[in-house]
Structure 1
Amino acid sequence: MSLIYAPVFALLVFEMLLFLSLIVPMPFKVKRGLFEFISHNPLVAKLQYGMKITFIFILILFVDSVNRVYRVQVELAMAKQQGGAANAVAGSERMEVQARKFYSQRNMYLCGFTLFLSLILNRTYTMILDVLRLEEENKRLTGGDAKSEKGKSGLGQAGELGEVAQLKKKLAERERDIETLKKQSQGLSDEYNRLGDQVSTSDNVPKKDR
């Protein structure tokens, strides 16, 4: 492998390892912290900018390798058309052309797969960020992450339980007051009925008995 294509191969191996690290299952908090670090770290941003320039050069190498493959194919077609008495000489030339064809195709595949994997990495990174954002939004809406949200706002689980206990206490006091009012109302009703019976009895007594 020539010196110019060795870094391309190293970059391809790095992209493969990076892709595997992106799809490895991790806890939600770990993955969110890792992607927040990648998204906000200035060193990573500079590295991404440098990688974009590198991919431009790899694209130029890919176009050049495609052009070389095409020219080799033309040379092979011309060698087949010649044939005849120059078979011995043409045989050695044909082997050389086949070797150049092999190297040109290898370089084309190497650059092509490197560029293709870079697009896959970019899309995978974007999709994972969207999934993390949706999971966080889902937890916030469903209350799955309520404990952490209350910790951030200064409210805790103990405060919520204390508030519920106070409401229950007030509700119990109201129920006792209602029960007391019921008993007082019943007592007044009984007293009213007793006085009504006395008045009715006194009205029924004859005057001579009075």
Structure 2
Amino acid sequence: MTLYYSLVFALLMFEMVVFVSLIIPMPFDLKRKLFIFISENPLVAKLQYGLKITFIFILILFVDSVNRVYRVQVELTQAKNQGGAAVQVAGSERMEVQARKFYSQRNMYLCGFTLFLSLILNRTYMMITDILRLEQEVKILKGEKPANDEAAAKIGEAGKLNEIGTLKKKLAEKDRDIENLKKQAKGLNDEYQRLGDQVAGQDGTPKKSK
């Protein structure tokens, strides 16, 4: 196994350890502190940024391994079509092709599972964050005072960002509707004043004597 595929394998083992640590049962307060540490630690943020770049390279390796598997399969098909004395000559070559097929498939599965597990980890982290926020809200609704109000606020902050953004959009839409209503009301008021002045002018016009 080459160096970069060895690194991919090490990353896969690291992802498995992280996944197990995320789903392992632990007390609520301990899990909350762990996720607060993950979300606020600058070193963890830098590590996540580096992993994103690493996954891009792993994706390139995955595409390359799929291409190699396809080419090896084509070579095997051509070798099977050979007959007679050519089979004895091409025996060692077919063994070499079979070996290259095995290594190509191994690399494809290794890169594919690493990328797939990264998606699972990201989704699992988001789901657990939402669960912790909901559990904290349930405790508050039941009247249980949280052990650390600041920590609870930090846990719920990530989940409330989307709600705040939605409320801001709705508030902006309401403001636009109010402005439109004000313009319509002003226009109606001006028209009413104009018609009133016109009617008053017509009533106050002296009639001509015969």
User: Would you call these one fold, judging by a TM-score over 0.5?
Assistant: yes
Question: Could you say if the C-alpha distance between residues 9 and 148 of structure 1 is closer, same or farther in structure 2, counting changes exceeding 3 Å?
Answer: closer
Letter in 2 for 1:109: Y
Aligned pair count?
Answer: 149
Q: Which runs of 5+ in 2 are unaligned?
A: 150-210
The equivalent residue for 1:96 is 96
1:118 matched to 2:118? The reply is yes
Question: Counterparts of 1:45-84 in structure 2 under 5 Å?
Answer: 45-84=45-84
Give the TM-score normalised by structure 1: 0.69
1:26 positional shift: 0.7
Give the TM-score normalised by structure 2: 0.69
Q: Which runs of 5+ in 1 are unaligned?
A: 150-210
**What SS does the aligned partner of 2:90 have?**
helix
Mapped contact 1:83–1:90 kept (Cα < 8 A) = no
1:83 positional shift: 1.9
Question: Could you say if the C-alpha distance between residues 102 and 142 of structure 1 is closer, same or farther in structure 2, counting changes exceeding 3 Å?
Answer: same
1:145 positional shift: 2.9
**What SS does the aligned partner of 1:5 have?**
helix
Q: Deviations over 1:45-71 (max 9, x none)?
A: 111000000000000000000000000
Question: Could you say if the C-alpha distance between residues 77 and 24 of structure 1 is closer, same or farther in structure 2, counting changes exceeding 3 Å?
Answer: same
Percent identical across equivalent pairs?
78
CA–CA separation in structure 1 for the residues paired with 2:74 and 2:7: 29
Letter in 1 for 2:27: P
**What SS does the aligned partner of 2:81 have?**
helix
Question: Could you say if the C-alpha distance between residues 147 and 92 of structure 1 is closer, same or farther in structure 2, counting changes exceeding 3 Å?
Answer: closer
Letter in 1 for 2:53: I
The equivalent residue for 1:43 is 43
The RMSD of aligned alpha carbons is 1.2
